[in-house]
């Protein structure tokens, strides 16, 4: 069989292999109820998977990562440090000049753009299948670069990331097939008809650059990566220098599937650098790069948005909780404590500011004073982090030295220090860099203290004049700094309407009365949009139609 025909047969068979899954994913986008084809419980996978992954991470550390494409590489780079072990993991990756990366991407762009939508879809979903087989490897790679605890590392970088990638594929497929390939167009003029044959095709914009972050190197990278790929754009992944290994596994598996199907591995490339020798701006400013996905600081995100390119950003925000009235205060405070402590607050959706009326909080058992609420928040956090079974697995470790220093210095920000950070012992990793949440009480007039992002487990309790004051303060904060989410607790329907209307009008979703296993930190693929793209926290949303449609252009031809 000729190679070209073999290529067509193989890729088409991949589409057929995964067509049922694609249909399920497309339906999930419509109904938006719970859907995931990738189990989040590690027990759903082979019994020996965890043990094999431990062996893999041990063998991978202190070695060159040779599984990636190395064509025209100029050496090896790597400077990742495990937040749990507090030593360098010693993994080095093939490095390239930015000129070489762009040359490879340009050559691959033609082949990938000329690959049909069905073929691209089959290849990308097959890649997710291969990535699924590496979930445990990815989990340990995430742990030892980000400081996420094991369960979060497994779920966030594994099944939850795959969910978001599949969501982007499905949304892309939906948009790319929303217009027919051809039609016969007839307009009657009475005595004669004007006839035309019309064709339409989605034309990819060109090379995509995806800039990763240090805390969620897979989950935050794959939506933009797969959205760019499904729409026909060769992609360059520029990970954070301190968090490469997990996304390297993903790209390794993608390159394998591409090669097996007769396509250049360089359709997807890993572009590594170091903190002292960055290449991000060299890539971002090059005219060959047509679109950029970015997750990180507002300062650099604003720079990305200033470029004359199509951009999709997730920047910093300040997330609020409005505490008005509750049924069970203990359950609510426990939920807030977990949300603030999860991965030591190093999540873009973690709460930072809690607005509480000076008059206290009404509960089913009567009014609880403001002072008691403040003490209750601190007590709930202490109870969680001091629990030897729950504490270490919830808070993980601190990824960056700058974050760790910020937590230790938080007591000097101003206000009343209610709960200071402390180090707790992780019995498995005695050298882990750990810092528990800080709780600071401030008056609403002390905006200079709380009206900014304090990335990490720093929680401000803000005394307000009442519910309307709390809502107005949270609203103004969104307008100025942005937010990804808002938590609200109220048993009053009028209050609920006020909060929802106000916050939605500044483009922030609200999570009402979350207790138990529901946390404002989590957004579910195929149901929740991650970001709205409507406030300063970012200009994109995972994964609405615009997240994919802005990556290609519809072009129509006519023939009489």
At 356-393, the pLDDT tens digits run 999 999 999 999 999 999 999 999 999 999 999 999 99
Pairing of strands 458-464, 486-489: unpaired
Instruction: Kindly list the distances between the CA atom of residue 221 and the CA atoms of 88, 125, 209, 270, 452, in Å, as whole numbers in the listed order.
Output: 23, 16, 10, 12, 25
At CA 377, angle to CA 298 and CA 498, rounded to 5? Answer: 65
pLDDT at 12: 54
Q: Rounded CA gap, 344 and 458, in Å?
A: 9
pLDDT at 1: 38
- C-beta separation of 118 from 15 below 8 A: yes
Q: CA end-to-end span of the chain, whole Å?
A: 38
Which pLDDT tens digit goes with each residue over 34-69?
999 999 999 999 999 999 999 999 999 999 999 999
Burial class (CB in 10 A: 0-12, 13-18, 19+), 517: exposed
By C-alpha distance, which of 486, 538, 526 is closest to 510?
A: 486
Structure-token match 């550390």, residue found = 61
Burial class (CB in 10 A: 0-12, 13-18, 19+), 7: middle
Six-digit token pair at 463?
């005394």
Q: Rounded CA gap, 326 and 332, in Å?
A: 8
Q: Rounded CA gap, 363 and 373, in Å?
A: 11
- C-beta separation of 191 from 219 below 8 A: no
pLDDT at 423: 87
Q: Write out the residue limits of the CATH 3.40.309.10 domain(s) in the chain.
A: 319-512
Which residues in the chain land under pLDDT 70? Answer: 1-12
pLDDT at 278: 96
Answer yes or no: CATH 3.40.605.10 is held by domain 3-315+540-559: yes
- C-beta separation of 197 from 95 below 8 A: no
Q: Write out the residue limits of the CATH 3.40.605.10 domain(s) in the chain.
A: 3-315+540-559
Structure-token match 């300062």, residue found = 299
Structure-token match 């995100």, residue found = 301
Q: Rounded CA gap, 400 and 264, in Å?
A: 36
Q: What architecture is the 319-512 domain classified under in CATH?
A: 3-Layer(aba) Sandwich (3.40)
């Amino acid at each position: 069989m000729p190679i070209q025909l073999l290529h067509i047969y193989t890729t088409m068979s991949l589409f057929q292999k995964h067509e049922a899954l694609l249909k399920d994913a497309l339906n999930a986008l419509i109904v938006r109820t719970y859907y995931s084809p990738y189990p989040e419980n590690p027990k759903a996978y082979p019994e020996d998977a965890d043990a094999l992954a431990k062996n893999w991470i041990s063998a991978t550390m202190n070695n060159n990562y040779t599984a990636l494409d190395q064509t025209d590489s100029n050496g090896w780079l790597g400077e990742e440090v495990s937040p749990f072990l507090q030593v360098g993991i010693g993994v080095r990756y093939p490095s390239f000049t930015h000129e070489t990366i762009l040359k490879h991407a340009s050559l691959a762009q033609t082949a990938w753009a000329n690959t049909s939508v069905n073929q691209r879809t089959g290849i990308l979903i097959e890649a997710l299948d291969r990535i699924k087989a590496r979930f445990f490897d990815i989990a340990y790679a995430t742990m030892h670069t980000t400081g996420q605890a094991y369960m979060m590392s497994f779920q966030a970088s594994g099944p939850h990331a795959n969910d978001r990638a599949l969501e982007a594929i499905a949304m892309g497929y939906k948009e790319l097939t929303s217009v027919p390939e051809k039609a016969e167009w007839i307009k009657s003029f009475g005595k004669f008809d004007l006839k035309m044959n019309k064709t339409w095709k989605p034309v990819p914009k060109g090379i995509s650059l995806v800039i990763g972050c240090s805390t969620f190197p897979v989950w935050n990278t794959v939506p933009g990566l797969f959205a760019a790929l499904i729409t026909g754009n060769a992609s360059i992944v520029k990970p954070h220098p301190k968090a490469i290994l997990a996304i390297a596994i993903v790209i390794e598996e993608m390159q394998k599937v591409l090669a097996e199907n007769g396509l250049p591995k360089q359709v997807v490339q890993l572009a590594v650098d170091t903190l002292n020798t960055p290449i991000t701006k060299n890539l971002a400013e090059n005219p060959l790069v047509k679109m950029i996905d970015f997750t990180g600081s507002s300062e650099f995100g604003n720079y990305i948005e200033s470029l004359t390119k199509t951009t999709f950003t997730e920047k910093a925000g300040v997330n609020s909780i409005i505490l008005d009235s509750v049924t069970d205060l203990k359950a609510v405070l426990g939920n807030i404590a977990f949300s603030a402590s999860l991965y030591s607050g190093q999540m873009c959706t973690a709460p930072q500011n809690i607005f509480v009326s000076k008059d206290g909080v009404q509960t089913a058992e009567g009014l609880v004073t403001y002072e008691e609420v403040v003490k209750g928040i601190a007590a709930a956090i202490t109870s969680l982090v001091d629990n030897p079974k729950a504490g270490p697995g919830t808070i993980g470790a601190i990824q960056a030295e700058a974050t760790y220093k910020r937590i230790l210095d938080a007591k000097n920000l101003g206000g009343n220090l209610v709960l200071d950070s402390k180090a707790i012992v992780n019995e498995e990793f005695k050298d882990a860099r750990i810092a528990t949440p800080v709780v600071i009480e401030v008056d609403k007039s002390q905006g200079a203290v709380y009206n900014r992002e304090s990335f990490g487990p720093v929680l401000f309790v803000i005394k307000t004049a009442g519910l309307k004051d709390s809502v107005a303060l949270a609203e103004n904060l969104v307008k100025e700094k942005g937010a990804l989410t808002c938590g609200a607790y109220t048993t009053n329907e009028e209050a609920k309407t006020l909060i929802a209307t106000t916050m939605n009008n500044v483009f922030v979703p609200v999570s009402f009365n979350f207790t138990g296993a529901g946390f404002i930190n989590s957004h579910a693929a195929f149901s929740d949009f991650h970001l709205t793209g409507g406030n300063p926290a970012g200009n994109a949303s995972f994964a609405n139609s615009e997240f994919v449609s802005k990556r290609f252009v519809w072009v129509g031809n006519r023939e009489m």
